[in-house]
Structure 1
Amino acid sequence: MTVLVLGAGYIGAALIASHLQSGDRVVAMDNGFATDWDAIERLMDGGPAKLVRGDIRDASSVASVISDAWPVRVVYLLAAQASANPDAATPEYTEETNLRGPRLVLEAVRDAARAAGSPPPPVVYGSSFHLYGPGLVGEIDEACPIGPQADLSHLSKVYVERLGEMHANRDGMTVVPVRLGIVYGIGPVTKRDFRFVTVPHAFALRRLGGLPVTVNPSGARPLAFCHLDDAVEALRLAPVGIAPGAFAPANAATEVLTVPEVLFRVDASAREFGVAVPDAGLGEPTAPAGRFRVHSRLASVGWHPRRDVAGSMPGILRHYAGQPVSAPRSDAPNDLRRDT
């Protein structure tokens, strides 16, 4: 049976690589937004795989790729406009991709299973730990309530999770949102455009490029992080042991840090790498009182993450060294660019 990956960008490409290494047949669809298409094609040449250029906003594209892949063992719904940066895309593109797209995918998977007379495959959704909102304290498990959101990208995750829960309750679909921490690390498709990289990557690029680094006051709030390889493992393990027709969120966050703590780790590695880093004389940031802790149900099915930001920074710096910092794209389709 086939593994279907919708969204072959930063996380999706690493997931594809993992499944190809396991000998799985993979069908993937991506629309090429904010993604190096050549890198995806090179990745897909490495095994029993098919890459389709299509868009989850288009019902015919979704139906066609599901038909090509059927029978499907698992569907990974990772296609999204995931950046909170207001210059990443227009609000219209974010809404169409992050709201309408997942609805079309869930309906198409349901309808394909009904037509085949078989149970629908589990849909593993790339959600976000940001769902819990700011100001977290104590242990955060999957039963914790959803908190306030500050941008359209993360707000859309709330809608899609509720949509998935509706399909599980009403249509017997198995929907598994994986609430990922801020993902970092090098993979087959690693971005350099500041609009689409997470904070560890942004700091590394700025230090290598001699660009100024600032930390907003909100950066003192602890945040959850997850290495790319650990995120891939979490996505693969998420549907294990889940009963058909269940809605089963899973946390995938491995380390809790403030932004100044991330910068301290970037700077320590950058200095060892020979990069001139301004010395503010502040030393390691003081750990905030009441740092929250993350519990994941995935521990019970063998998820044991081993990576952290400090240990990953040398590899990130090596990857970016000698590569120019990307300017904002000027060749994106009009509906992907924010009006100015």
Structure 2
Amino acid sequence: MHVLVAGAGWLGAALCEALVARGDRVTAVRRDPARAAELSRLGASPLALDLAAPGAAARLPAGLDAVLACQAASGDGEAPYRRAYLDANRTLLEAAARCGARAFVYTGSTGVFGQRDGSDVDEATPPAPASAAAEVLVAAEALVRSLGAAARVVRLSGLYGPGRTGLVERVRAGALALGPDDGAWMNFCHRADAVSAVLAALDRGAPGAVYHASDAGPAPRREVVRFVAERLGIEPARRDAPAAGANRRVLAERTRAALGLALAFPTFREGLAPLLAQAGGR
């Protein structure tokens, strides 16, 4: 296939590498020309393009069989989210429709769920956005699904993996700590498993389906903090103020069954172990 990977950054580059390895032709899009050029080493054809800019669709290649929309916002808040997830997706959808692409996979976010009561959410749970930015994420899903049968949405939980060790550093610095509300659920997905989920949705996803790329072991924040702190050989920090953010357990059993997925990293423990070793832990 000729696959366009839009937003070929940390996750998108890994998708490019996997697609090239299996024999697909890949066009990889990034805004920054220097970073786009780096993608040629993966065997992809780089294209430096701001997908939210007027006329961007005309610069996308013809003959696309599929689009993987992995672009990320350049900042927090409603305006950057609109550019990345609405404006850029409109460009991509225009190109996909023009080419008659058979699949359009959008990597959304479990951030569409703003529940704070610790409840379970799965692929059939209606979104409950808790901010203007989250409302944009919900609108982006609806926009993508308006394409029809070719569309699939893969909602990603908190991504981590090689080169992304922010979770470990937040515990080390005390930014992620024990204290009020430390029973709130944290949900993760290792990059390797995210790649598998996106490719499975591309290859055998159902028309218009919504999937979850989230591991099998959501955990209370206190478990995550204690696990990381113990392996770093430090005492976990404590804070008196409750942490902001959602509190819901993201389930993905339906996705794994529907797409026939086996997780390489079933929980954060397996996934963080090599990253902790590199960070000086045990």
TM-score range, shorter chain: 0.7 to 0.9
SS of 1:23's equivalent in the other structure is coil
1:119-158 map, 5 Å = 119-134=100-115, 135-138=117-120, 140-150=121-131, 152=133, 154-158=134-138
1:202 aligns with 2:202: no
Counterpart among 227, 245, 261 of residue 303 in structure 1: 261
1:180 maps onto 2:180 in alignment: no
Alignment correspondent of 2:235: 278
Q: Is the 1:7–1:80 Cα contact (8 Å) retained in structure 2?
A: yes
Matched with 2:12 is: 12
TM-score in terms of structure 2 length = 0.82
The match for 1:46 is 42
Q: Distance in 2 between matches of 1:179 and 1:155?
A: 14
* 2:187 alignment partner, SS class: strand
Distance of 1:158 and 1:253 partners within structure 2: 18
Q: Which residue of 2 aligns with 1:81?
A: 73
Is contact 1:17-1:43 (8 Å) kept? Answer: no
Would the aligned equivalents of 1:2 and 1:24 in 2 still touch at CA under 8 Å? yes
**AA at the equivalent of 2:160:** Y
SS at match of 2:147: helix
Instruction: Name the TM-score, length of structure 1 as normaliser.
Output: 0.69
Q: CA separation of 1:3/1:266 partners in 2, compared to 1, >3 Å: closer, same or farther?
A: same
Segments of 5+ residues of structure 2 without an aligned counterpart are: 239-247
Residue in structure 2 matched with residue 249 of structure 1 by the alignment? 210
8 Å CA contact 1:237–1:298 kept in 2: the answer is no
The structure whose Rg is larger is 1
Q: Distance in 1 between matches of 2:42 and 2:195?
A: 18
| CA 1:214–1:129: 2 relative to 1, 3 Å | closer
**Measured at CA, do residues 41 and 270 of structure 1 come closer, stay the same or move farther in structure 2, by a change above 3 Å?**
farther
Structure 1 runs not aligned, ≥5 long: 83-87, 114-118, 192-200, 272-276, 282-289, 322-340
Deviation of residue 22 (structure 1)? 1.6
Equivalent of residue 101 in structure 1, options 73, 88, 95 = 88
The number of residue pairs the alignment matches comes to 267
**Fraction of identical pairs, as percent:** 25
SS in 1 for 2:126: coil
Counterpart Cα distance in 1 of 2:156 and 2:49: 25
Asked if structure 1 preserves the Cα contact closer than 8 Å seen for 2:52 and 2:84, the reply is yes
Residue identity opposite 1:225 in structure 2: F
Helix, strand or coil at the partner of 1:45? helix
Distance 1:221 1:227 in 2: 20
CA distance in 1, matches of 2:37, 2:231: 32
Specify the alignment match of 1:237 in structure 2.
200
RMSD: 2.8
- Corresponding residue for residue 245 of structure 2: none
C-alpha distance after superposition, 1:178-198 (max 9, x if no partner) = 011111111xxx35xxxxxxx
| Alignment partners' CA distance in 2, 1:262 and 1:249 | 28
Letter in 2 for 1:212: G
Alpha-carbon deviation of 1:18?
A: 1.4
Corresponding position of 1:294: 252
